[in-house]
A = this chain, B = another copy of it.
Amino acid sequence: MDLHPHCEPLAYLLGTWTGAGVGDYPTIDRFAYTEEVTFGHVGKPFLAYNQRTRHADTGQPLHAEAGYLRALGENQVELVIVQPSGIVELHHGEVRGQTLALELDAVHVTPTAKSVTDVQREFRVASVDDRLVLSYDMSMAAVGQPMTHHLHAELTQQP
């Protein structure tokens, strides 16, 4: 299936990425996790995004999220994400080389979810020792805290 031309600036994200990350937030203990991220396509102007993390020591499932990275053309994107914690996010942004910098349009939560009022995400791919590494950072304003860094992970592309 040919990649949609609008997705070409995002082609570097395609595939399966695995690695490790660390999470932190003023209201919780610092924690380490392993992670698998996939970006797939079906020939349409979006990539399908899926993410799962596990506890670094026990292997227990921790977080998951799913979404779609909409390629609008001319390096413009929109990212929609849904989380089992009852959170949905709508971002827009721009592809700058191998960096995807996003700005939040809106975050919404279900009636019983924890409050989240702002989210900041950035993804970047770099070549490290002949391997491609996808790293990301996620910050959020949640449960009464101001915008604070929450997650950083580094993942290598699987063959």
Interface residues of A (CB under 8 A from B): 42-44, 46, 48, 50, 61, 64, 66-68, 70, 72, 78, 80-84, 86-88, 90, 92, 105-106, 108-113
Which of B43, B86, B90 is within 8 Å of A80, CB to CB? B86
15 A-B pairs (CB sep. < 8 Å) = A42-B61, A50-B66, A66-B67, A68-B83, A68-B84, A70-B86, A70-B110, A78-B86, A80-B84, A80-B88, A81-B82, A82-B88, A88-B108, A90-B110, A108-B108
Count identical subunits in the complex: 2
Contacts of A113 in B (CB 8 A): 78
Q: Is the CB of B108 within 8 A of A72?
A: no
For the complex, give the distance between the alpha carbons of A17 and B50 in Å: 20
Q: How far is the CB of A39 from chain B (nearest CB, A)?
A: 13
For the complex, give the distance between the alpha carbons of A44 and B64 in Å: 11
Q: How far is the CB of A30 from chain B (nearest CB, A)?
A: 21
Contacts of A105 in B (CB 8 A): 110-111
Contacts of A44 in B (CB 8 A): 61, 84
Q: Is the CB of B48 within 8 A of A64?
A: yes
Beta-carbon nearest neighbor of A50 in chain B: B66
For the complex, give the distance between the alpha carbons of A70 and B87 in Å: 11
Which of B42, B61, B90, B92 is within 8 Å of A88, CB to CB? B90
Contacts of A61 in B (CB 8 A): 42-44
